[in-house]
Amino acid sequence: MVKILIGVGLGFLLFTNPEARQITGDLLRSAGDAIAPAKEGKTIQNRMQDAVLEKVQEKI
């Protein structure tokens, strides 16, 4: 019940405060840019896979 009230309170704050909406929008946009594949280059899945492979190869 407390979690629901906290969620409603945060939702109300974000809905009524323009600065909070702008910050939330910027954070969501930057997260989407980080996840979205680049037009040139590797996707985040490929970058993570390469990092794991490098760690495994270091141990060999």
Whole-number average pLDDT of the chain: 83
Give the model's pLDDT for residue 4: 92
- Residue 24: pLDDT over 70: yes
Give the model's pLDDT for residue 6: 92
- Residue 14: pLDDT over 80: no
- Residue 21: pLDDT over 80: yes
Angstrom CA distances, 51 to 2, 34, 40, 45, stand at: 40, 16, 19, 10
Give the model's pLDDT for residue 5: 92
Give the model's pLDDT for residue 20: 83
